[in-house]
Structure 1
Amino acid sequence: MQTQARAVRAAYAAREAERFGRSWSTEELMLGFLGDVGDLAKLVQGKAGVRPRADLDEALAHELADCLWSVISLADAYGVDLEAAFGRTMADLRTHLAGPATPEG
């Protein structure tokens, strides 16, 4: 997934440079991600029956993939080893969940 995401990000960067004289900044990548999350929220509402549409399942899958692409792109932009960070975070959460439940979480 990361290889594909990086190739698409590079293609977008080239198009942005051609169109705007530079590629998007990390802030602009984040704003794009926020837009995708907003679109995802509307599709989740659709799954709850609030915003129905004919292609809901396809659109939901597409938007989830868009959000994942944005996360991978942001991780790359900041030099985060996302696979390693994910593994550490899941291990931390498993440890947390193995302990007693507390009011804080």
Structure 2
Amino acid sequence: MSLSPFIDHARRLRRQFDESARREDRAPWSRLELAQGFAADVGELQKLCMIVDGRRQGAAGSPSTTADDSPLAHELADCLWSVLVLADEYGVDLTSAYPRMIAAAEAKLTR
């Protein structure tokens, strides 16, 4: 599995957000602001998981499904975008970091 297409799309969208901010005389988000936005997205993801699992009431009419077009799917994809952008901003190669992390986790389980 290659993350390259996802990384390329995330990079392009990040540039579009930066260009939009400049057109509106705002500064593009810094790496710290991107991380803060990601933290907020994770909070929203947690709320949606609780709604889907019946542990929290959603707003009237809020879907409690896991369909590909559900709010939960959207938020998961939003979090993925944030991870890809943050990795790019910090120069982390996820295509090599992820398999190393998986191998380390698997090694812990086989001890």
For residues 20 and 73 of structure 1, the distance between their equivalents in structure 2, rounded to whole angstroms, comes to 22
For residues 14 and 34 of structure 2, the distance between their equivalents in structure 1, rounded to whole angstroms, comes to 10
For residues 3 and 34 of structure 1, the distance between their equivalents in structure 2, rounded to whole angstroms, comes to 22
Change in 2 beyond 3 A, CA 1:51/1:78: same
Task: Name the counterpart of 2:20.
Answer: 15
* Equivalent of 1:54 in 53, 63, 78: 63
Q: What is the TM-score of this pair, normalised by structure 1?
A: 0.86
Query: Sequence identity of aligned pairs in percent?
Result: 40
**Residues 43 and 51 in structure 1, CA contact (< 8 A), matched pair in contact too:** no
What are the equivalent positions in structure 2 for 1:66-85 lying under 5 Å apart?
A: 66-85=78-97
For residues 80 and 42 of structure 1, the distance between their equivalents in structure 2, rounded to whole angstroms, comes to 29
**Residues 51 and 64 in structure 2, CA contact (< 8 A), matched pair in contact too:** no
Bigger helix fraction: 1
For residues 74 and 63 of structure 1, the distance between their equivalents in structure 2, rounded to whole angstroms, comes to 16
Q: Would you identify which runs of 4 or more consecutive aligned residues in structure 1 move more than 3 Å?
A: none
Q: Please, what is the CA RMSD of the aligned residues?
A: 1.4
Q: Runs of 5+ in structure 1 lacking a partner?
A: 100-105
Worse-matched range after superposition: 39-48 or 11-20: 11-20
Task: Name the counterpart of 1:103.
Answer: none
Q: What is the TM-score of this pair, normalised by structure 2?
A: 0.82
* Equivalent of 2:10 in 5, 10, 17: 5
Matched residue SS, 1:79: coil
Q: Runs of 5+ in structure 2 lacking a partner?
A: 1-5
Aligned pair count reads 99
